[in-house]
Amino acid sequence: MALELEGRVALITGAAQGMGRAVAERMAAAGARLALNDRNPQTLHAAATALEGKGAGVEALPGDVSAAGDVARMVERALERFGAIHVLVNNAGVLRPTAVIDIEEEEWDRVVNVNLKGTYLCSRAVLPAMRREGWGRIVNFSSTAGKNVSTLGGAHYTAAKAGVLGFTRHLAKEEAPYGITVNAVCPGLIDTEMVRDTIDAERMRSYARSFPISRLGKPGEVAELVAFLASDRAAYITGASLDINGGDLMI
């Protein structure tokens, strides 16, 4: 089971740090070859180099997932390098804590475009390759915000993550006849760089004390869930949203 993704190619967005980096490491450990995307070329290449040093086949693909041209080039390069894309993990996201009364239109568009439009653009771009293979796994990152209200983000983040869940269900229904499953993961508060850049250590501890499992989640724990959904073990799961939040939201 350790190499259950051997022979598969996984495209992971937002892969330079946090949950995306953890997913990349877990996929590599399972034998997948990796097409890694991030907006920051420096941190992306550092992540790619580290994974290559562990023996993984890696292609670094800098680009903005909310820009259709960047996404098209990213997918084209991945196919040129590996010949196929079997798994897409739509992890790239941005979070802003701004109250609605203070959200400027530009900020609204940026948060919604990265979190929701990027999920659509990347999914659309890989579908022809997955259909040719007759096998595919798309794992979208939503959040507890998509089912309730964001703990740290603003309404634009909540709205985008709720949109990801609707998109996931609809795409799952469309693509099931082609052997492609589409699911969403809904992390709660995970100990990532983005969270640490948003709140201070005392506030993190306060949130952790309020959860039934009284700590923040670890990126590697989310990566385990994503790897499961990307595998043949999850072949009969599609259109689902799986919570991983330490009991913060139970519905």
In a domain, 3, yes or no: no
58-92 pLDDT per residue, tens: 999 999 999 999 999 999 999 999 999 999 999 99
Tally of domains in the chain: 1
Confidence of residue 143 (pLDDT cuts 50, 70, 90): very high
What proportion of the chain, given as a percentage, has pLDDT over 90? 91
In a domain, 250, yes or no: no
Catalytic (active-site) positions: 157
Claim: this prediction has a pTM higher than 0.75: yes
Q: Residue 1 pLDDT > 70, yes or no?
A: no
In a domain, 247, yes or no: no
In a domain, 251, yes or no: no
In a domain, 4, yes or no: no
- The whole-angstrom separation of Cα 195 and Cα 221 is 16
Confidence of residue 193 (pLDDT cuts 50, 70, 90): confident
Report the chain's mean pLDDT, rounded to a whole number.
Answer: 96
Structural domain boundaries, residue 40: 9-242
Residues whose CB is less than 8 angstroms from the CB of residue 5 and which lie 6 or more positions away in sequence, other chains included: 27, 30, 31, 32, 87, 227, 230, 231
Residue 39 belongs to domain with CATH number: 3.40.50.720
Q: What is the pLDDT of residue 185?
A: 98
